[in-house]
Amino acid sequence: MEHLKVRVLSVEHLKVRVLSMEHLKVRVLSVEHLKVRVLSMEHLKVRVLSMEHLKVRVLSMEHLKVRVLSVEHLKARVLSMEHLKVRILSMEHLKVRVLSMEHLKVRILSMEHLKVRVLSMEHLKARVLSMVHLKVRILSVEHLKVRVLSMEHLKARILSVEHLKVRVLSVEHLKARVLSMEHLKKVRVLSVEHLKVRVLSMEHLKVRVLSMEHLKARILSMEHLKARVLSMEHLKVRVLSMEHLKVRVLSMEHLKARVLSMEHLKVRVLSVEHLKVRILSVEHLKKVRVLSVEHLKKVRVLSVEHLKVRVLSVEHLKARVLSMEHLKARVLSILLSLPVQVSGCCLTRVNILNL
């Protein structure tokens, strides 16, 4: 286009297609098999790249308005600064918008006049494709299809609240699947600020993973056990804990993080030099590990206003958010023997049993 400056820094098998606009510089740094398509715009610099220490921010600047709001036919747009209109992806009948609110800080990495960056990972196929019925696939892996499906008048808000209400996916009949397994098909998304995952809401921050008429936000559901992560006033749910931003979602003997690694499902969501995020599930139940640090010494899965701490493991403790078919409260049983400090109070055996 006019004044088109397209820069593509890619790695093996990187295929980037970009339609940029005036003064647009689109850079894409991806990893193996990453496929990114971007439609950029005026004064916007869209970059897709993965960082060494993986500094991902999904919160934008003060006057930056980033919407991930899709309307009828899903209009994908990224509205940046005050009068800046950025389109990251514009497909035949798909126009997705991404915008944030006044105090919304959405950073996919960092920006100067709004530089949208998306980090890719090994074997990650980042695609934002519009389907016949507006089916957007952001990540697809073997037998795993991460979809952001929108329906008529779909209004997907990634972040929005009282001054900021974060909605990952919402609309009439909208079904957002971030991770689907055989018996687990609803894993919700969470936002992060310095790797502080807030799963639901806070006083001035109401994070909704999935909200809408017929939509029920579930962060983790199991066959006979439904684990919900409810946040509270100052709840800070850490699903990630690291040193130099090393996100480990799965805890095992040697900390083998897997995002969805099943017999027929192997998903790696984030895997960079110092970052390895994976969620594991096993054969008869797809056990999803949430996170561990140094041999699982500090695993915090959730914690709520009324004190709902589900997982606090010690060394060699295997934190599981999804229990097995016949295992319902393995984590809680371990907690029964441990004092848990939450919001200045100590959980007792009786309190834990009352959760």
289 vs 335, which has greater pLDDT? 335
Average pLDDT over residues 305-325: 30
Q: How far apart are CA 269 and CA 215, in angstroms?
A: 24
- Residue 205 burial (10 A CB sphere; 0-12, 13-18, 19+): buried
User: Are 137 and 129 contacting, i.e. CB atoms less than 8 angstroms apart?
Assistant: yes
Q: How far apart are CA 134 and CA 151, in angstroms?
A: 7
pLDDT given at position 38: 35
pLDDT given at position 202: 28
Q: What are the boundaries of each domain within the chain?
A: 184-202+216-355
149 three-class SS: strand
pLDDT tens for each residue of 155-194? 232 222 222 222 332 222 222 322 222 222 233 333 322 2
Q: Which of 140, 183, 171 is nearest to 69 (CA)?
A: 171
DSSP one-letter code for 67: B
Residues 186, 191, 194: CA angle, nearest 5 degrees: 140
pLDDT given at position 281: 28
Confidence (pTM): 0.11
Please state, for a pLDDT cut of 90, what percent of the chain lies above it: 0
Average pLDDT over residues 211-235: 25
pLDDT at position 214 over 50: no
pLDDT tens for each residue of 155-164? 232 222 222 2
Q: Which two tokens stand for residue 311?
A: 């997982």
pLDDT at position 336 over 50: yes
pLDDT given at position 333: 53
Average pLDDT over residues 75-87: 29
Q: How far apart are CA 313 and CA 320, in angstroms?
A: 10
Q: How far apart are CA 160 and CA 99, in angstroms?
A: 9
